[in-house]
Structure 1
């Protein structure tokens, strides 16, 4: 009405334009108010049902559905059917992730707070001013990340830490991908008052009560007024950067935990040897049989756990490039640990001990890791 009628007839519709603009401001103010309530109640304070936290069961169920469709129809027919279901979800207002091509992504199996956050932002983006949208998006993304952390803790308690970490990585990737089309700056300035000086100045005023009305430079009341002024501080919060930082923290925790699971025996024996070399070089090193047992146990852990780790990554992430990026530091850490052990053995152990230990080279460890990694499903 304003753009098509009032602006074209400013004189005749001046009173009407004033009324419409007031109405628009009232509606936008109400919209912002309701959005704040919605973000708090339905995102931050969302109480998930057992089904919302049924990971990895939900993903396994969708994988099973896709496998059954694959057995019934050809691959092209299955992909066509999944694409139709995905298109239907988009038509109904459900955003879709393009980070992977798993059935879980195609069917919109996202955590409710992620779906609500993205739907809320997509609606507000079209009907609020840029500055207002930036403030609401900052709050919505921060609350959504907090809800994902709460959900991950619940999954870790009922399932495993690996499931919790991959759950959080999956949804943080979705968040980062889906907010990219919003061509706005997700950083906002926040102003706060630093009241710490008031407390210090008040304590000084109490301790110097006798000088409250002194007529010289040591007047306690004057010093309180000068020193107790609150300081204004500005903070810049970038919600997109906070999503990236949380994603980085979760990925690093997953990498550390996976490395610890796979290389703990070799890592422990290296620490024992280094402790002896640094503090008591005259003391005997751990026997070759002990080192050999650590090497054998580490190889067993790799063969036992690596296929499960890879399967979990494929199930949650369903993207070969993302899986490669996440697993590469794990593999590099394994190679470095075995190379460090190899260097110590060559310097500190005899030829007979080396034959007993049989520490694999980096190439041999790389071959072992590759043999345990199953090819990703097409």
Structure 2
């Protein structure tokens, strides 16, 4: 299925209501304007779209299927379905936009792709896309996440990417973004910063959303073929928010379809720095070149954040999510570490599917909705698989789930 790339927002300045925009130095804005112009040409170019569709089908393995999680459904009394982005080549939804960004960079004559990564899924996907189109690739990753997500670090290096450890601050995703931005500013002419979510200055929230909308476009058609109707509830985890926007985008006009974004409550929502629930507890602010909800410290700077899921610990969120929150079109709830890990094992042992810890937040929230008696079907975006998390989960939670003998 080909993406339509047709959406009402953002406006010409990159705003979703009051959120988004481009808060960057003037010299970088000139480069960003070139990216916007090039992307505007590509999204209308039949050859670009055909090449992307070909790669989605024959390289990624799209369309990803929808699976009725029957055992989970029977246990919790609600029809729970999974959009299986974990079955994509590279193991997550990230390959959807990485291929688009790599093709755009190639067309623009760039020599290198650079990016940040938290859980490593964006890094693996971008390294894969860079190898495919013949570009160099630098991936900035916090030292904490390098240790935590070792399998993905190895994959990136096998694929030829240069993985650059980030050693300041909490040494996680926010710091990796800081470092990647600094590297990009050093040479924006020969490099393209392939942002890993629906965040950053315009056009990236729009561009990543457009590439990820293949998820929602497929899901809308598939679900109606399976059930004869639209899903009643959509559920997706939200860090920056790309997998959620990818799913939500095809259903925004369907008011009868409830949209649920799931943020990480981490250790606790009561203590700053121990969660990353941006939409739940944040307020509007500007960071990394765009305006959105963000978590702030006492000085108004980005607050330290935490989640057991490395891909979710970011102190801001995509501007379109902020817009949907203010409109009341989407609801944003939270799941803590323990709930996410419990869902990780629940899905593994009830359906034979090992999810990424990020995706486990969405599974946990779907279970919560079912337990509360939410009406109708629940479609969860299973954004990634858990291969990358197995060593970490066994080390830290194995004893609680009777697998200590494997340590």
TM-score by length of 1: 0.28
Bigger share in helix: 1
